[in-house]
Amino acid sequence: MTPTHLPWRVATVAAAKRESVRAKAILLDVPGWPGHLAGQHLDLRLTADDGYQAQRSYSISSAPAGRPQLEITVERVDDGEVSPFLLDVLREGDPIELRGPIGGYFAWMPGDGGPLLLVGGGSGVAPLMAMVRARTRSGDKTPVRLLYSARTVDELLYRAELEELAAAGDGFELIMTLTRGAPEGWTGEQGRIDREMLAARGFPPDRRPRIFVCGPTPFVEACADALVALGHEGGRIKTERFGPTGDLK
């Protein structure tokens, strides 16, 4: 066994809830969980009966809450090796190996300051949800704008929760955009998050927002470049690239 102080633990699947047409939120009971920062991820390890193993990283979408239950959001990767298993086979009561929390660089906690600009593409919204939820839970009043891009309306994650938070009017603003067409009555944006949308809907550079960008690598690169071109400080832009398939592999 490779030496480590970050041991593999056995967690139990507490629940699995459909979150969108392609994704589920999976709740895990993790005895001995040391707590986490909003934005951190965990690694899952799956072992087939011949010993073959696969590992994947998933952002923790639940707020740090002082209780040992975590939520990860798993979106289907077509022909993927792991996501179809997690979505179609894994069930309540199953044990699963994980380690974490991992990653302190891409993290925000209430009290870290803002304003906070969160830019998420597809399942990249997962770690940003942890930040939004942490803020809500703590009563923190840092102004937040979440720019969230999904392909279609039924691929949006956490839609009801986010719209409710936006309606509460306590400094959280939600801008959703669909890149592959919108249904009748859609009042959000359409098209990719680009320089124009970031200029129009993000915080201006003179407010020096803390910025977190997460999603597939090409999405993150394009947004980060656009933010720098708009005049935001590179040092205040933190990125988490999921692989091209959307996996943090």
Partner 1 sequence: MTDEFIPLDGNAAAGRLAALFAAEPTTIVITCESCGREGPLGTLKLYGGAMGMILRCPECGTANLRFSDAGARATMDLRGSSRLTVYGAEAQR
Partner 2 sequence: MLITRGFKGKARNRGAAQDRVPPGQYVTPDFPVLSAGPTPRTSLEEWSFGLRQGGQTIAEWRWADFENLPQTEVTVDIHCVTKWSKLDTRWRGVTFDDLLGAAGLDAPPTSFLMAHCDGGYTSNAPVADLAQGRAMIATHYEDLPIAPAHGGPARLLVPHLYFWKSAKWVRWLDFIDHDEAGFWEGLGYHIHGDPWREQRYRGDP
Q: Which of 3, 4, 32, 52 binds partner 2 (CB under 8 A)?
A: 52
* Count of residues making up the chain: 249
Residue 52 binds which of partner 2, partner 1, none (CB < 5-8 A, kind-dependent):
partner 2
Q: Which of 20, 57, 177, 179 binds partner 1 (CB under 8 A)?
A: 57
Residue 49 binding partner 2, by CB under 8 A: yes
Nearest residue (CB) to partner 2, 5 versus 91:
91
| Rounded Cα gap, residues 8 and 31, in angstroms | 12
Contact stretch for partner 2 (CB under 8 A) within 45-53, 136-144, 150-158, 203-211: 45-53
Provide the token pair at 125. Answer: 């919204």
User: Mask 111-140, x = binds partner 1 (CB under 8 A)?
Assistant: -x----------------------------
Q: Which of 15, 65, 90, 109 binds partner 2 (CB under 8 A)?
A: 90
Q: Are 240 and 213 in contact (CB under 8 A)?
A: yes
Residue 35 binding partner 1, by CB under 8 A: no
Residue 29 binding partner 2, by CB under 8 A: no
Residue 51 binds which of partner 1, partner 2, none (CB < 5-8 A, kind-dependent):
partner 2
Residue 72 binding partner 1, by CB under 8 A: no
Convert the chain into a string of H (helix), E (strand) and C (coil): CCCCCCCCEEEEEEEEEEEECCEEEEEEECCCCCCCCCCCEEEEEEECCCCCEEEEEEEECCCCCCCCEEEEEEECCCCCCCHHHHHHCCCCCCEEEEEEEECCCCCCCCCCCCCEEEEEEHHHHHHHHHHHHHHHHHCCCCCEEEEEEECCHHHCCCHHHHHHHHHCCCCEEEEEEECCCCCCCCCCEECCCCHHHHHHHCCCHHHCCEEEEEEEHHHHHHHHHHHHHCCCCHHHEEEEEECCCCCEC
For residue 10, the minimal CB distance to partner 2 (Å) is 6
User: Mask 92-131, x = binds partner 2 (CB under 8 A)?
Assistant: --xxxx----------------------------------
Residue 105 binding partner 1, by CB under 8 A: yes
Nearest residue (CB) to partner 2, 46 versus 166:
46
Maximum CA extent, the chain: 57
**# of chain residues touching partner 1 (CB under 8 A):** 28
Give contact residues for partner 1 (rule: CB under 8 A): 1-6, 41, 43, 57, 99-100, 102-106, 112, 217-218, 238-244, 248-249
